[in-house]
């Protein structure tokens, strides 16, 4: 397993538990050290599970890519971010493929799991591997299987989530089916690697577009004096033809804010517009600014204080509840927007004790989470609920805070009301 992050480490544990000896590769020596001591840094993998697999000898981790030569199956689970211009950044995939090519031998199965645009496996990975003189389908075998991890979801784990698989040719397809079929409960074969790549994009575009729809409806209904949360709760009682999606302060995570733009980029090659997808992206990207506008309005109306002279507490730095993952979190953008308007921003998150290093928000690195006490909370001009973690004392927050701006309906869902609560 190359890349021992949110995708690679849970998959490594699943494959090891199915009986395969597994080597995990990562360029971060800190991760290797933690694994060697049985300490997991991913919520989906407990310390007990990791320790059991390392102590049994079924799993070991290394930074030495020369050991790829001894592996029969190599799975690529590396990041695929966007550039500043929203173009795909496949540098991690290409560098990893080059590392694999350095030790590639006949009989190996190479699998890409990283989310990408249709045609990457065949058009990017395959040429790098075939530059060695070995041929896909004859000497080595190539496949794609999109990751489907959902951090924080206790109802599913890697082994119980159906796995879409595809191979470059009939033999590769059979090997993909055999390998994943030994580790997960359900395998869903599709005809080509490009189809499998499109499956992943379709899943996340579906979510991005529907979230954009309810975000837009929230703004419209807000102007009409209608509560979007009440509308959704009533609409979802319909047993057919409707699926509930919920608004928020923006999109976060590595998938939904990024994956749609892989398709919009690829579609330009075919001179085809993707207006629907791009519009959804614009709506979702605009939500943090809308929330800050509502925050400024609430401060002005309720306390007569400008945002530029206010100190705001953001509750929740992670992009979704009950996880420590801050990738693409709208909370980071909220902090930036508040401070760009002259205000001060602090945060509380029980899962994120301090801000880790990020590419775009390096200036926030090591900023600590503040405690939620009556003295602390009452000292802020406003409290903004950005992520609705379960282990927050919302009743006390409602009692202590001067102004509460709730982007997740955290108080409404708990039956907590108050004149200081503003939905945004």
Residue 86: the pLDDT is: 83
Q: What is the DSSP string of 86-139?
A: S-B--HHHHHHHHHHHHH--TT-EEEE-S---TTHIIIIIHHHHHTTS--BTTT
Residue 21: the pLDDT is: 97
Q: Minimal CA–CA distance to 171: which of 138, 201, 135, 145?
A: 138
Residue 341: the pLDDT is: 97
pLDDT tens sequence across 174-217: 999 999 999 999 999 999 999 999 999 999 999 999 999 999 99
Residue 151: the pLDDT is: 81
Q: Cα–Cα distances in Å, from 253 out to 150, 156, 334, 390?
A: 10, 18, 15, 18
Residue 150: the pLDDT is: 86
Q: Minimal CA–CA distance to 27: which of 3, 59, 53?
A: 3
Residue 313: the pLDDT is: 98
Q: In degrees rounded to 5, what are phi and psi of residue 189?
A: -75, 140
Residues linked to residue 74 through DSSP beta bridges, in sequence order: 110
The helix or strand, by DSSP H or E, that contains position 197, with its residue range, turns out to be helix 193-224
Domain boundaries, the chain: 8-191, 226-423
Three-state DSSP at 65 gives: helix
Q: Minimal CA–CA distance to 320: which of 272, 390, 270, 221?
A: 390
Residue 275: the pLDDT is: 94
Within its chain, how far is the Cα of 74 from the centroid? 23
Q: Minimal CA–CA distance to 118: which of 283, 264, 219?
A: 264
Asked, colleague to colleague, whether 8-191 and 226-423 share their fold, the answer is yes
Residue 257: the pLDDT is: 86
From the candidates 12, 196, 205, 255, which is the catalytic residue?
255
Instruction: Output the pTM of the full model.
Output: 0.91
Q: With the C-alpha atoms ordered 209, 321, 61, 179, is the resulting torsion angle positive or negative? A: negative
Cα(258)–Cα(265) distance, integer angstroms = 11
Domain 226-423 class?
alpha beta
∠ CA 335-337-340, nearest 5°, is 105
Cα(163)–Cα(174) distance, integer angstroms = 14
Residue 273: the pLDDT is: 93
Residue 204: the pLDDT is: 94
Q: Minimal CA–CA distance to 403: which of 330, 337, 313, 332?
A: 313
Q: With the C-alpha atoms ordered 272, 205, 237, 249, is the resulting torsion angle positive or negative? A: negative
Cα(192)–Cα(370) distance, integer angstroms = 50
> Please, are residues 323 and 43 in contact by the beta-carbon 8 Å criterion?
yes
Size of the chain in residues: 424
Residue 242: the pLDDT is: 97
Positions in the chain short of pLDDT 70: none
Cα(228)–Cα(235) distance, integer angstroms = 10
Helical segments of 268-373, H only: 275-303, 330-340
Q: Which tokens belong to 383?
A: 């409290």
Would you call 71 a catalytic residue per the annotation? no
Q: Which tokens belong to 250?
A: 């923006």
Residue 4: the pLDDT is: 97
Write the DSSP symbol of residue 43.
T
CATH of domain 8-191: 3.40.50.720
Q: Minimal CA–CA distance to 184: which of 153, 161, 212, 152?
A: 161
The helix or strand, by DSSP H or E, that contains position 143, with its residue range, turns out to be strand 141-144
């Amino acid at each position: 397993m190359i890349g021992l992050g949110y995708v690679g480490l849970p998959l490594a544990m699943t494959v090891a538990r199915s009986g395969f000896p597994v080597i995990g590769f990562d360029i971060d020596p800190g991760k290797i050290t933690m694994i060697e001591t049985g300490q997991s840094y991913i919520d989906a993998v407990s310390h007990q599970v990791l320790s059991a697999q390392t102590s049994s000898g079924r799993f070991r981790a290394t930074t030495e890519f020369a050991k790829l030569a001894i592996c029969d199956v190599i799975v690529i689970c590396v990041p695929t971010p966007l550039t500043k211009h929203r173009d795909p950044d496949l540098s991690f995939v290409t560098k990893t493929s080059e590392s694999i090519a350095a030790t590639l031998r006949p009989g190996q199965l190479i699998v890409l799991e990283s989310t990408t645009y249709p045609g990457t496996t065949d058009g990017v990975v395959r040429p790098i591997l075939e530059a060695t003189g070995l041929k896909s389908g004859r000497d080595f075998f190539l496949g794609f299987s999109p990751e489907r991890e959902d951090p924080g979801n206790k109802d599913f784990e890697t082994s119980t989530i159906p796995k879409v698989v595809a191979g470059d040719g009939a033999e590769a397809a059979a090997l993909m089916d055999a390998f994943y079929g030994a580790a997960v409960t359900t395998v869903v074969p599709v005809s080509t690697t490009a189809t499998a790549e499109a499956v992943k994009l379709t899943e996340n575009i579906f979510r991005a577009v529907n979230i954009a729809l309810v975000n837009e409806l929230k703004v419209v209904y807000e102007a009409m004096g209608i509560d979007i949360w009440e509308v959704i709760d009533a609409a979802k009682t319909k047993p057919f033809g409707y699926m509930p999606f919920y608004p928020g302060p923006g999109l976060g995570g590595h998938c939904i804010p990024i994956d749609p733009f892989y398709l919009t980029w690829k579609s330009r090659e075919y001179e085809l517009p993707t207006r629907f997808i791009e519009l959804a992206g614009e709506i979702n990207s605009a939500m943090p600014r809308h929330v800050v506008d509502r925050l400024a309005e609430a401060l002005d109306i309720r306390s007569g204080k400008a945002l530029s002279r206010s100190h705001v507490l953001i509750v929740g730095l992670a992009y979704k509840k009950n996880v420590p993952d801050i990738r693409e979190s709208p909370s980071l953008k909220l902090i930036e927007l508040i401070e760009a308007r002259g205000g001060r921003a602090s945060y509380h998150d029980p899962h994120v004790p301090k801000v880790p290093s990020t590419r775009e928000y390096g200036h926030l690195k090591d900023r600590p989470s503040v405690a939620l006490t009556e003295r602390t909370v009452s000292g802020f001009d406003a409290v903004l609920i950005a992520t609705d973690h379960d282990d927050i004392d919302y009743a006390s927050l409602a009692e202590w805070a001067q102004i509460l701006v709730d982007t997740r309906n955290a108080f409404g869902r708990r039956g907590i009301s108050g004149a200081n609560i503003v939905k945004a």
